[in-house]
Each structure stands twice: as structure tokens, then as C-alpha cells.
Amino acid sequence: MMSFIGPASILAKRAEYFFPATGHFYKNPPQIVKGYMQYLFDEQNKRYTDLYAGVSVVNCGHSNPEIAKKTNEQVNDLQHTTTLYLTQPMVELAEKLAQILPGDIARTFFCVTGSEANEGAMALARLFTRKQGFIALKGGLHGRTHLTLSVTGIPMWRLDNQLVQEHIYFIDRPHSVEISTQEAMTQSLEQLEMILKKHGDNIAAMIVEPIQGNGGIIMYPEEYLKKVQELLAAYQVLLIVDEVQTGYGRTGKMFAVEHYGVVPDIIVTAKALGNGIPISTFSTRSEIAEAFTKPSASTFGGNPVAAQTALNVLQYMEKNYLVKQAQELGDYLKKKLQQIDSPFIQEIRGTGLMIGVQIQSPDPLITSAERTDEILEKLKDAGYLIGKNGLNRDVLALQPPLVITKEDIDSFLACLEKVL
Ligand code: PMP
């Protein structure tokens, strides 16, 4: 049994050996030492119900025994070779993805992180269209490489002042607290059309999350992406959908873009595909894939451990109806949240098990972000871990493992109501 150094030592070592950029949740954070399905355990063996899933990653549960057993077998048999050698799991995974990805999207490039996959998707769009620029939504987040940061529309995550500005265009998202969603959508589409009219002949793609995660769980009106795609098509601009956070059942559909009845040109996934083992993808239809001919390889992309794990994740999701479960439990969670009467709740957003609770602070001396932190801390003390996001860091993020139960949700809701 490993001995635990405890939260104080970890904080001290982080302060000494990490960069100040590395943040953490909570004034008094626990040391997390174990996970089992929807639960996490700290160094004192206190159990927490996890409603954040490591930012939408562990959809099948922490150290899911069925999946972990097969991952361990793969580690023992063959861990790594690169795409230069022929291995089986990665082609079987690519084949499986072709079956479940929307429309005629059937070709996949494997990499490791969401940022890397978005970067690849953007490069692919440039190769295919032979154009240069990108359009993105304010409030979107797409990664931490130079180009993906450059299309990230959340000021706090835009790392430096030297990001790409030329040929990058931001438009408003179709959501606002000041005007109606319909008006916000009209404005957003007008901005898009104006940019396309002026610069469309040198724009390769527009990149969007189908539901903004970090931006505060912002879902768009049902017809928004269809209208976006119509406008883009008129200027031969591709639509890249970033499903890094929403993919693989999270929102009650296999992919969140299905809520809008749209098939994107390129789709990017990561996080939940490996249930904690790093793997990411960008996928497209054959016509676009044909443009990607220059040699390219990600050292760890599609490695046997990640690819085999992903296959087992998809099999586990199917066998346990996790997409349906996300929709049903998500509907239940959202309905129950709407019944909570609290001056701190401004709005409840999202779908499936991707729900955001916009917090407000009626007391002018306390900011909504401080309120949010207080709620997170009290929930943690009571044994519930939730996330937070939003442009002002004042949105409670409820994105539990999809294997959570109704009983877990009921006890969480009772606790949240008390905390509020
Ligand atoms: N896209 C979205 C929508 C994300 O939420 C994230 C990470 N939270 C990324 C891209 C970047 O992924 P990664 O951290 O794996 O590079």
C-alpha cells in the first residue's frame, strides 16, 4: 500500500516545482488517491461522488474494472510501436468510428490530446480548401497550441499577446443574458455573413463546439448550426465541430452535433474516447481526407493501449446503453434542478449529463465567482465534487460519469439544495 504525503505536501511541491499557471479547485483540497466508477476517494478514505468526470473524460467511470482489465492485458502484450508498424487495435477502432460518426465521415487520424486534434483538423481544412483563415465563436475553447489558442474566444485562456490575429475572425455566440436567444442568433448569423462576404474567399473553416463547455455550457438554438452551415457552404468554408468535451454520449446523443441535425465536414474528439487513457481524433469524409497527402504522424497516435481501450470503451457504452442513460438521467437532473428555488440560480443550461447552473450573487459585496467557489467547497466537504466554468467562472458544471445512478443524483440534489 502506497503511503500518502497528503494535501499540504502536494500543495508545497506544486508551489515549488510547477509553474504558477497550474491552478487547483478548493481552499482545502483533498488528495485524491483512488477512483471506482462514479466515486473518488481521498487519502483519509473519504468517498466523494464525482459529478465532473475529470472534465468530461471518465464517462464509463473511474478505473472501470471491465475496461481496466483489458487495458492492462494490452499493456502486458504490446504497448507501443507507432503507425510505422502494423497493429490491429487502431484499424479496428478507425473502422468502428466510421460506423458511429455522423454521415459519411469515415476516415480518422489518431493523436493524443484535444488541442493536437483540433490543430490537425485546422491544418486539414487549409490543405483541402487551399485557404488560410478561420472563424470561431466568442466563448469557445479549442486548446492550448498556438493556433488553437488563437481561435479560443475566452480571454482568461488566451495565453499570450502574440497569438495569431491575421485571418482569424470571432463572432458572437447565439446566447446572451441581455437579449433573447433568437435575437442573439440573428446577430451571430449576421456577423458570420458579413465576415464571409468580405473574407470568405480566404477562410478555410469555422470551428465550433456544438455545446460550449468551458464557456459555461452554452447550447445553441436548434436551427443555428444548420443556418451556419448553409452560409459557410456558399463560400466553400468547412465546418469543424469540436466534440472534445461533448463527444461519446455525454449529451444524450453519441455526438452533440446530432442535436442540430448537421453533419460537419470535420469532427474532432478526445477525452471520453479513452476514458482516461489519452487519445484524440480528427475525422472527415473521403473527399476531404484525400487532400492530406504529405507525410504526418503523431508518435503516440493510435498506440495499441489507447486504441484497444477506446474499442473497449465504445463496447462498454453500447452494452450498458450509456447514451440513453445520459439522456434519461440528464432530463431528470435538469428537471429537478429547475425545481430548486434559490436566489443564487440564474439559469440552468445544457442537455444530457452536461448541465450548467449559472450562479448569480444578490449580495453586491460578493461576486458570483466567489459564490460559485463557496458552493463548490461546501459540496466537496459534503462529499460531492462538481466543476465550474463560464466566462466569469460562475457556472456550476455538472458532467458526471455516465454510469452515475439516480440515487447518486437524488442525494447530490438534496445536498445542493441544502448548500444553496
Ligand atoms: N476543445 C475543447 C472543447 C475542450 O474542452 C478542451 C479541453 N478542455 C480542448 C479542446 C483541449 O483539449 P486538451 O486539453 O486535451 O488539449
Q: Model confidence over 245-293: pLDDT tens digits?
A: 999 999 999 999 999 999 999 999 999 999 999 999 999 999 999 999 9
Res 227 pLDDT > 80: yes
Higher confidence at residue 2 or residue 271? 271
Query: Fold match between 7-51+321-419 and 66-319?
Result: no
Q: What gap in Å lies between CA 238 and CA 230, rounded to an integer? A: 10
Q: How many CA atoms lie within 13 A of 408 on its CB side?
A: 21
Average pLDDT, the chain: 97
**3-class state of residue 388 by DSSP:** strand
Q: What gap in Å lies between CA 382 and CA 36, rounded to an integer? A: 18
Is any atom of ligand 1 closer than 6 Å to the C-beta of 303? no
Strand 218-219 to 133-137 pairing: unpaired
Is any atom of ligand 1 closer than 6 Å to the C-beta of 213? yes
**3-class state of residue 309 by DSSP:** helix
pLDDT band at 412 (very low <50, low <70, confident <90, very high): very high
Q: What is the pLDDT of residues 202-223, one digit of tens each?
A: 999 999 999 999 999 999 999 9
- Give the CATH class of 7-51+321-419: alpha beta
pLDDT of residue 113: 98
Res 359 pLDDT > 80: yes
Q: What gap in Å lies between CA 333 and CA 327, rounded to an integer? A: 10
Q: What is the pLDDT of residues 126-173, one digit of tens each?
A: 999 999 999 999 999 999 999 999 999 999 999 998 999 999 999 999
**3-class state of residue 62 by DSSP:** strand
- Say how many Å lie between the CA of residue 389 and the centre of ligand 1: 13
pLDDT of residue 357: 98
Please report which residue ranges of 151-290 form alpha helices under DSSP H.
181-199, 224-234, 286-289
User: Are 241 and 265 contacting, i.e. CB atoms less than 8 angstroms apart?
Assistant: no
Give the number of other Cβ atoms within 10 Å of residue 394's Cβ.
24
Rg (the chain; Cα; Å)? 21
Domain ranges of the chain: 7-51+321-419, 66-319
What is the torsional sign of CA 309, 323, 327, 221? Answer: positive
Q: What gap in Å lies between CA 217 and CA 214, rounded to an integer? A: 7
Q: What is the pLDDT of residues 284-339, one digit of tens each?
A: 999 999 999 999 999 999 999 999 999 999 999 999 999 999 999 999 999 999 99
Is any atom of ligand 1 closer than 6 Å to the C-beta of 270? yes
pLDDT more than 70, % of the chain: 100
Q: Which atom of ligand 1 is nearest to the CA of 117?
A: 16
pLDDT band at 1 (very low <50, low <70, confident <90, very high): low
- Domain 66-319 CATH (choose: 3.40.640.10, 3.40.50.261, 3.30.830.10, 3.40.50.10440): 3.40.640.10
pLDDT band at 2 (very low <50, low <70, confident <90, very high): confident
Is any atom of ligand 1 closer than 6 Å to the C-beta of 140? no
pLDDT of residue 190: 98
Q: Could you tell me the three cell numbers for 351?
A: 442537455
CA 77 vs. chain centroid, Å, equals 31
Q: What is the pLDDT of residues 70-102, one digit of tens each?
A: 999 999 999 999 999 999 999 999 999 999 999
Cell 475529470, located at residue: 54
Q: How many CA atoms lie within 13 A of 271 on its CB side?
A: 29
Closest protein CA for atom 13 of ligand 1: 114
User: Are 277 and 306 contacting, i.e. CB atoms less than 8 angstroms apart?
Assistant: yes
Strand 39-42 to 47-50 pairing: antiparallel
- Say how many Å lie between the CA of residue 137 and the centre of ligand 1: 15
- Say how many Å lie between the CA of residue 242 and the centre of ligand 1: 9
pLDDT of residue 177: 86
